[in-house]
Chain A
Amino acid sequence: MIPAAFAYARPTTVDEALQAIAAGGEDVKIMAGGQSLIPVMRLRLAAPETVVDLTKVAELRGVREDGDSLVIGAMTTHSDILRDPLIAQYGKLIAEATETVADPAVRHRGTFGGALAHADPAGDLPAVALALDAEFVIAGPGGARRSVPAAAFFVDYLTTALEDGELLVEIRVPKLGEGWGVRYEKFNRVAQAWSIVAVAATVRREGSTIAEARIGLTNMGSTPLRATAVEQALVGADVSLETVTAAAAQAAEGTEPSSDLNAQADYRQHLARVLTGRAVRAAAGL
């Protein structure tokens, strides 16, 4: 449980961070809260040449409004998120999912951006970001910025659109305020464990019909997934147990979940259907 030796940089600005990443050699790891990176380094699954620690980059931390969007700094911790008034007002799905992440100690250090850049399909926040069509603002060498939509950000298992030398700066999500119901339905065996399967659902009702539905699936493949078929079936449908249940039955379409000691693939697909039904019912106020 002792990491191999590594060089360490602790920049205080994004520019310094980009320089440190550029100067860090072949294998640079960017450390946000360290809640995933430090364990894999201690187990020597990762032995980076340089670790660039972002914890002192103040400009990356915090939540602000920009028109119809919430802008969340990549280094905003999970506990920051849970205390933030803008999140409480416009980011209820994020808050609900963040509450289920691990335990208070992990949430105190772990960050929103770190969890997304790590892109663990069993992590809770990638599916939420995907469901919200989040925009990922990325700074490159020299400071140039580009924006990547969530649908293009999660590339594969623990792999994102972030290129070498790049840094995730902030995440933009649409404000979902009045009229939106949310539910993060997480299924795990003990409180601090990763999701076996989880469903992030947010639904906007107009009277007795569902006007919009966004559904993300956690741990149903090598990346977070959208339950597109369910969303399509829900939009314009009556808010009723029957329609929701029928729509949720399509939740496993297109998924390729793994089999492990917690669940084989067929059981994960079954869970996706059950949990999607529950999440949508709760989000729709049924």
Chain B
Amino acid sequence: MTLTDEPTTAETPVKEVGNARLRKEDARLITGKTSWTDNMVLPGMLHMAFLRSPVAHGTISHLDVSAAKDRPNVVAVFTGQDFKDEQGSIPCAWPVTPDMVNPGHPSIAVDTVNHVGEAVAIVVARTRTAAVDAVEAIDVDYETLPVVLDMEQAVEDGADLVHASTSSNTSYHFVFDAGEAGTGTDTDAAFADAEVTVSRRFVQQRLIPAFMEPRSAVVGVQGDNYTLWSATQIPHILRVMGALTTGIPEHKLRVVAPDVGGGFGGKLQVCPEEILALLVARRLGKPVKWTETRSESLMTAHHGRDQVQFIDVAAKKDGTVTGLRVRLLADMGAYLRLITPGVPALGAFMFPGIYKFPAYRFECDGVFTNKVPTDAYRGAGRPEATFAIERIMDELAVELAMDPMELRRKNWINAEEFPFTTVAGLQYDSGDYEQATQAALELLGYDELRAEQKQRRESNDPVQLGIGISTFTEMCGLAPSRVLGSLSFGAGGWEQASIRMLPTGKVEVVTGSTPHGQGHETAWSQIVADELGVPFDDVEVLHGDTAISSRGLDTYGSRSLVVGGTAVVKAAEKVVAKARKIAAHLLEASEDDLEFSGGKFSVKGTPGAGLGIQEIALAIFAAHDYPEGIEPSIDAEAAFDPVNFSFPHGTHLCAMEVDTETGFVKIRKYACVDDIGNIVNPIIVEGQMHGGLAQGISQALYEEAIYDADGNLTTGTFVDYLVPSAADLPTFHTGNTTHAATSNPLGAKGVGEAGCIASTPAVVNAALDAVRHLGVSDILMPLTPERVWRAIHQGGDGGARVAEGSNAYGGATTTETGYEEAK
């Protein structure tokens, strides 16, 4: 331990924040040379495979597993009867109303099945193959019950019931009324006085999150201690909920999310299979593994979206909006999972978008159907809201014969009006919609494309051109804990970080915000490098293991940087404060006379002498010489609870070519300018934007989970559940404006969901803009060529698609073993 006397230079240290660093975690993630859950092998580990229901609604009339038990290498076969007294219910953490009906969600069906794919029996075998083979030997019969699939029929009087224990298929009726809340005026009066009203019914089709890495769970047993490795977004929440559900005491349960290959909200869940893996491991006292097949994933992992939206807007003839009324039917599926009911309720606050509605009323019915439950999916409530408001603004513009951008401009919050409290009660902190819009118009080449559109119309070109607009905002940085409490959410929204200064000066950052592909290790390293003045490569970021990161609330809702990154900043500030005392002692100076810059404490006015924080780490490890009355450590931890959400915004513009002869739609050009506050790493931001845009565009053009009349998932493989590749997507022209968030010291707003939320309405608006002169006013998503062609040539919205899979793979559909030949 020596003090160094290095010559100081006048150079400002290079800032890591803002630097376009390549992601340090990518090499291992991309090559797969890492610890995915399915790579885990424990001594004596057994494998689980599920028999899943081929019927959407029925009672289990006969279930004989004896033949399966006799199959080679089978260790045990369990049914719902074996676990009915200990499986509890999959938790629902968001009872959005006090009288919400939750019929309970068994992890494995006991007497009745309520959706295709529900687990009915579990085979545990010494190999995965043996387990899968033995599933076929199970003898099962069902007495079918009427299947409830259509929400609008499900809420009618006398409708067949999903759950016999309930009096209707409505789980809850959630209302937000700005007049009653005191954040706006009376909505009925606004509509009674309206000069113009426009009403539309929009459909948010059901989507499948389709993360790359399938779900996987491994349970290790050490006496009465259990370790659950899972491909989850939420190891911390899973630990609490897993303990409460299974009765394993929380301190006897460790949860590890190793590297996780994507989630998009689809792994923001306490999965039935995770609970069952714990129950089976406890019952047998042996380690077990379960990894889903892609078919199981599409059929049984929770889905997203699935709303019917009735939207009314009131306005003056000059375009000034005067009221907004939203009524939703939101498909819960058969059960309530972790935040199933909360997703549409969260959206309630985003329907007013960036516009100054004086009056607003939102009502939502959560409806049970015999389908797999819905839950969080990238954006969770906000894409649905953004779609509705951005679509209805175009419809209002058509009604008023106004330019759609002019209508928006007339009604949006002006830059000088921030902070602005919306009719939904949110306080938007910063932004400039006009600035982002101007930049986006230039990026697109708006005027040239409008000229080309006019020319194509006049020449009656078979390929028509349209331009779609989406000027959006979203609420991110989930979330202020008090606000979550007021919304009856079962947890807070804070985040935790700790920093460990190792003797060699290296730094370990422990984050509670568990990544599943977002690049936390890189971004957190950049933040800490700046805060502590240490080299980027000297920082290691640890995450995902509740034994290492004991407190955390994980990753969703564009919260990681905004909340988790801020916790890292706060922890670093504490490290510096603790190190300052030691530096003062070693430099024989007053703390007040020390300045900290570039990782070094020095005495003001005495350039040259100084002490690096990495040296202090060694000094305090040795602890031979430090001030009395303090602990021999400069490690620190911090929790951060935001006081407000953050509000990214942006203007997205899509130019769309529509082949009127075939109905094929092709994005000609896509430009967007987003304000996501301060940027830590531009490459990560660009990647998040591209991925988000792909997913949002995909909702508009490609993806739809379709069930047939019996409740079978028609889109049970990637042949029929269509996900685009890079070959199908245009070059993205992206840009940023920067208005720092005021709710966190990083000034960050969050970027994980922006592209996904903003793009869908821009794409649909563009297609409609191309063919509206042909009499088309709406087309259902996804805009399949057939729907577009029918809307152009036969009127209507394109209609429902045939619930029949394509003939690839012999037209496979779901059955108890996964598949059967349909033809």
The reply to whether the CB of B554 lies closer than 8 angstroms to some CB of chain A is no
Chain A residues, Cβ within 8 Å of B720: 261
Chain A residues, Cβ within 8 Å of B728: 190-191
**Chain B nearest CB: distance from A132 CB in Å?**
23
In contact, A260 and B802 (Cβ under 8 angstroms): yes
Chain A residues, Cβ within 8 Å of B293: 1
Which listed residue, B133, B786, B818, touches A263 by the CB 8 Å rule? Answer: B786
In contact, A158 and B662 (Cβ under 8 angstroms): no
Chain B residues, Cβ within 8 Å of A190: 702, 722-725, 727-728
Instruction: Scan B640-677; emit 1 where CB is below 8 A from any A CB, else 0.
Output: 00000000000000000000011010000000000000
Given contacts A259-B802, A259-B804, contact A264 B132 (CB under 8 A): no
Which listed residue, A1, A4, A45, A191, touches B133 by the CB 8 Å rule? Answer: A4
- Give bound CA distance, A93 to B701, whole Å: 30
Chain B residues, Cβ within 8 Å of A258: 804, 807
- Give bound CA distance, A158 to B811, whole Å: 12
Instruction: Scan A1-14; emit 1 where CB is below 8 A from any B CB, else 0.
Output: 11011000000000
Name B133's closest neighbour in chain A (CB-CB): A4
The reply to whether the CB of B785 lies closer than 8 angstroms to some CB of chain A is yes
- Residue from A4, A120, A187, A189 whose CB has the most chain B CB atoms within 10 Å: A189
- Give bound CA distance, A264 to B807, whole Å: 13
Task: List B249-284 residues whose CB lies under 8 Å from chain A.
Answer: none
Chain B residues, Cβ within 8 Å of A259: 802, 804
- Give bound CA distance, A72 to B821, whole Å: 32
Chain B residues, Cβ within 8 Å of A270: 789
Chain A residues, Cβ within 8 Å of B809: 36, 39-40, 43, 45
Given contacts A45-B819, A261-B802, A261-B804, contact A187 B664 (CB under 8 A): yes
In contact, B785 and A189 (Cβ under 8 angstroms): yes
The reply to whether the CB of A192 lies closer than 8 angstroms to some CB of chain B is yes
Instruction: Scan A232-273; emit 1 where CB is below 8 A from any B CB, else 0.
Output: 000000000000000000000000001111111001001100
In contact, A122 and B806 (Cβ under 8 angstroms): yes
Task: List B713-744 residues whose CB lies under 8 Å from chain A.
Answer: 714-715, 717, 719-720, 722-725, 727-728
Chain B residues, Cβ within 8 Å of A121: 807
In contact, A261 and B806 (Cβ under 8 angstroms): yes
- The DSSP consensus for interface residues of chain B is loop
**Chain A nearest CB: distance from B756 CB in Å?**
18
- Give bound CA distance, A81 to B548, whole Å: 55
Name A275's closest neighbour in chain B (CB-CB): B662
In contact, A274 and B662 (Cβ under 8 angstroms): yes
- Give bound CA distance, A75 to B642, whole Å: 63
Interface size on A, residues (CB 8 A): 37
- Give bound CA distance, A113 to B442, whole Å: 52
Name A263's closest neighbour in chain B (CB-CB): B786
- Give bound CA distance, A1 to B817, whole Å: 10
**Chain B nearest CB: distance from A5 CB in Å?**
8
**Chain A nearest CB: distance from B530 CB in Å?**
42
Instruction: Scan B787-823; emit 1 where CB is below 8 A from any A CB, else 0.
Output: 0011000000000011111111111100001111101
**Chain B nearest CB: distance from A265 CB in Å?**
9
In contact, A2 and B725 (Cβ under 8 angstroms): no
- Give bound CA distance, A158 to B132, whole Å: 27
The reply to whether the CB of B376 lies closer than 8 angstroms to some CB of chain A is no
Given contacts A193-B722, A262-B784, contact A157 B715 (CB under 8 A): no
The reply to whether the CB of B295 lies closer than 8 angstroms to some CB of chain A is yes
The reply to whether the CB of A44 lies closer than 8 angstroms to some CB of chain B is yes
- Give bound CA distance, A122 to B823, whole Å: 15
Name A262's closest neighbour in chain B (CB-CB): B806
Extra inter-chain contacts (11) besides given A187-B662, A264-B802, CB under 8 Å: A2-B128, A39-B809, A40-B809, A122-B807, A157-B823, A190-B722, A262-B806, A267-B789, A267-B790, A274-B661, A274-B662
Interface residues of B (CB under 8 A from A): 128-129, 132-133, 293-295, 661-662, 664, 701-702, 706, 714-715, 717, 719-720, 722-725, 727-728, 784-786, 789-790, 801-812, 817-821, 823
4 closest A-B pairs (Cβ-Cβ)? A191-B727, A1-B293, A260-B804, A190-B728
10 contacts across the A-B interface (CB closer than 8 A): A4-B133, A43-B295, A43-B812, A43-B819, A189-B701, A191-B725, A260-B806, A260-B807, A261-B801, A270-B789
